[in-house]
């Protein structure tokens, strides 16, 4: 090194600092790349993205390559800086060179390039990937040896180095990603995606039409009554039973039945021939699973039954889809027709059989959904007794007045919008 001029050594030192900055910045850029965006760009044929994705398949090798190059460059730069300092200032310059070089590397080869790479990772990572792919092939034996030693040390410390997948997202993490997507997704699409994630938590019990509200055909009724019910029905698939709901024998397609009852000589047996066997759903089935069950069984409606086989309600494919996209049918449901009645004073008369989930969705409220599924059950659970008419309570911040009770259930309640309590109260 005595034959090399001081000016050339200084130029070489500057070049090594630039290389160190490249290694430091590219390391940060590659490690902070959005893995999902990277996969999308690689699938679209982006060359830099494909190479970066290939490197990140084995991050231990990539890190070993970068640190090998970075440490070699920094140590060589330190040696050259020492030689230059000795020539210029003698032995007193060694300490000065160490301090100055530390400051220069910290600012120009660490903090600045890493900050730039963290702010614009793709601009730094993709060009670097073109260099690292052939460099890794060239330096593979040395990188392999370094990784074997490093991984062996980790195994001695009982740290697993294989089979660790850090890219999987939990449902809550995915909810955060969707919620924080900002303007990348329209608000309506965000709500739909979040609703899809919520299907796992909701069950058919929460969206079903209660047994007492099921509208169907009783084959024991007179023929004319059955005919009128078919002509005036607003539903396509109608439950058919004999005597009571627990004796449902199947579902009747209204359009097909209208062609039968339009004849004068039609009989009950003619309708029986059109009835499709009922499809039963165990209560507590998650909506996500039931959606797949409807698809697999090619069904659109099913009866929710308890562990004893008693019918608890009726759930439809449309009800599940509305949990995702919101109300989309033009035909009002039974719930919408009779359960919630807005009043001029801003309060609401709500029937006790109304679904808590439906109330929340229709009015934008936040009544608790963990527990009873109906307003009556929610009030009774809160009070731990059957309330008398005139009883006033505050449930989850909503003032309620019990107007009518019958047969040990709340039939009607008046509810005011939620009152937020101030901190001073």
C-alpha 237/C-alpha 252 separation (Å) is 6
Write down the pLDDT at residue 21. Answer: 92
DSSP 109: I
Instruction: Output the domain CATH number for residue 374.
Output: 3.30.465.10
Tell me, yes or no, whether 423 lies in a domain.
no
Tell me, yes or no, whether 305 lies in a domain.
yes
If asked whether residues 209 and 304 sit together in one domain, one would say: yes
If asked whether residues 244 and 269 sit together in one domain, one would say: yes
Tell me, yes or no, whether 424 lies in a domain.
no
Per-residue pLDDT tens over the stretch 28-45: 999 988 887 888 888 888
Residue linked to tokens 């009835």: 275
Note every long-range contact of 143-152, with CB atoms under 8 Å and residues 24 or more positions apart, other chains counting.
Answer: 143/61, 143/64, 143/65, 143/68, 144/61, 146/64, 146/68, 147/60, 147/61, 147/64, 150/60, 150/64, 151/60
Write down the pLDDT at residue 330. Answer: 47
If asked whether residues 243 and 188 sit together in one domain, one would say: no
If asked whether residues 50 and 187 sit together in one domain, one would say: no
Tell me, yes or no, whether 95 lies in a domain.
yes
If asked whether residues 367 and 303 sit together in one domain, one would say: no
If asked whether residues 109 and 76 sit together in one domain, one would say: yes
If asked whether residues 69 and 10 sit together in one domain, one would say: yes
If asked whether residues 29 and 149 sit together in one domain, one would say: yes
* CA within 13 Å, CB half, 382: 24
The residues facing 281 across adjacent strands are 304
Coil, helix or strand for 338? helix
> pTM for the complete prediction?
0.58
C-alpha 231/C-alpha 223 separation (Å) is 12
Instruction: Output the domain CATH number for residue 239.
Output: 3.10.580.10
Write down the pLDDT at residue 322. Answer: 82
If asked whether residues 148 and 15 sit together in one domain, one would say: yes
C-alpha 269/C-alpha 260 separation (Å) is 11
Per-residue pLDDT tens over the stretch 106-158: 999 899 999 999 999 999 999 999 999 999 999 888 888 988 888 888 888 88
Tell me, yes or no, whether 161 lies in a domain.
no
Question: DSSP characters for 180-249?
Answer: T-GGGS-HHHHHHHHHHHHTTT-BHHHHSEEGGG---EETTS-HHHHHHHHHH---SEEEEEESEEEEEE
Three-state SS sequence of 29-96: HHHCCCHHHHHHHHHCCCHHHHHHHHHHCCHHHHHHHHHHHHHHHHHHHHHHHHHHHHHHHCCHHHHH
Residue 176, H or E segment: helix 171-179
Q: Which stretches in the chain have pLDDT values below 50? A: 330-337, 422-425
- 234-to-238, 254, 332 alpha-carbon distances in Å: 9, 9, 9
Tell me, yes or no, whether 279 lies in a domain.
yes
Tell me, yes or no, whether 422 lies in a domain.
no
Residue numbers of the domain that contains 294:
204-328
Write down the pLDDT at residue 292. Answer: 92
Tell me, yes or no, whether 319 lies in a domain.
yes
Q: Which of 299, 328, 357 is the last residue of a domain?
A: 328
If asked whether residues 374 and 395 sit together in one domain, one would say: yes
Coil, helix or strand for 138? helix
Q: Which of 156, 187, 222 is the last residue of a domain?
A: 156
C-alpha 207/C-alpha 247 separation (Å) is 22
* CA within 13 Å, CB half, 418: 13
* Domain total in the chain: 4
The residues facing 60 across adjacent strands are none
Look at the chain and count its residues. 425
């Amino acid at each position: 090194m005595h034959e090399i001029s001081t000016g050339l050594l200084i130029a070489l030192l500057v070049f090594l600092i630039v290389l160190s900055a490249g290694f430091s910045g590219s390391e940060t850029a590659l490690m902070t790349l959005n893995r999902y965006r990277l996969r999308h760009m690689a699938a679209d044929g982006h060359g830099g993205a494909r190479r970066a994705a290939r490197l990140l398949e084995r991050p231990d090798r990539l890190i070993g390559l970068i640190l090998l190059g970075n440490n070699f460059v920094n140590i060589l730069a330190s040696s050259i800086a020492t030689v230059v300092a000795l020539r210029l200032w003698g032995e007193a310059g060694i300490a000065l060179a160490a301090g100055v070089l530390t400051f220069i590397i910290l600012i120009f080869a660490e903090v600045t390039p890493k900050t730039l790479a963290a702010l614009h990772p793709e601009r730094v990572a993709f060009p670097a990937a073109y260099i690292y792919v052939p460099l890794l092939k060239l330096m593979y034996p040395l990188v392999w040896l370094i990784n074997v030693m490093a991984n062996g040390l980790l195994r001695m410390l009982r740290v697993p180095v294989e089979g660790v997948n850090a890219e999987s997202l939990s449902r809550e993490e995915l909810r955060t990603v969707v919620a924080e997507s900002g303007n990348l997704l329209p608000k309506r699409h965000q709500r739909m995606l979040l609703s899809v994630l919520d299907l796992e938590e909701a069950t058919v019990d929460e969206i079903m039409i209660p047994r007492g509200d099921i509208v169907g055909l009783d084959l024991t009724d007179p023929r004319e009554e059955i005919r009128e019910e078919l002509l005036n029905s607003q539903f396509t698939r109608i439950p058919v039973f004999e005597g009571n709901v627990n004796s449902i024998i199947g579902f009747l397609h209204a359009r097909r039945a209208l062609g039968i009852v339009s004849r004068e000589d039609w009989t009950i047996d003619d309708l029986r021939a059109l009835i499709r066997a009922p499809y039963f759903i165990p209560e507590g089935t998650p909506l996500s699973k039931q959606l797949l069950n409807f698809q697999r069984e090619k069904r659109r409606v099913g009866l929710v039954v308890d562990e004893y086989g008693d019918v608890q309600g009726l759930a439809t494919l449309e009800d599940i889809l509305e949990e995702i996209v919101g109300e989309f049918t033009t035909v009002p449901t039974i719930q919408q027709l009779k359960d919630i009645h807005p009043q001029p004073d801003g309060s609401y008369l709500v029937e006790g059989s109304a679904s808590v989930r439906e109330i929340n969705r229709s009015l934008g409220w936040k009544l608790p959904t963990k527990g009873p599924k109906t307003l009556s059950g929610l009030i009774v659970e809160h009070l731990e007794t059957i309330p008398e008419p005139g009883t006033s309570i505050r449930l989850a911040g909503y003032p309620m007045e019990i107007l009518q009770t019958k047969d040990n259930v709340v039939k009607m309640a008046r509810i005011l919008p939620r009152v937020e309590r101030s901190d001073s109260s």
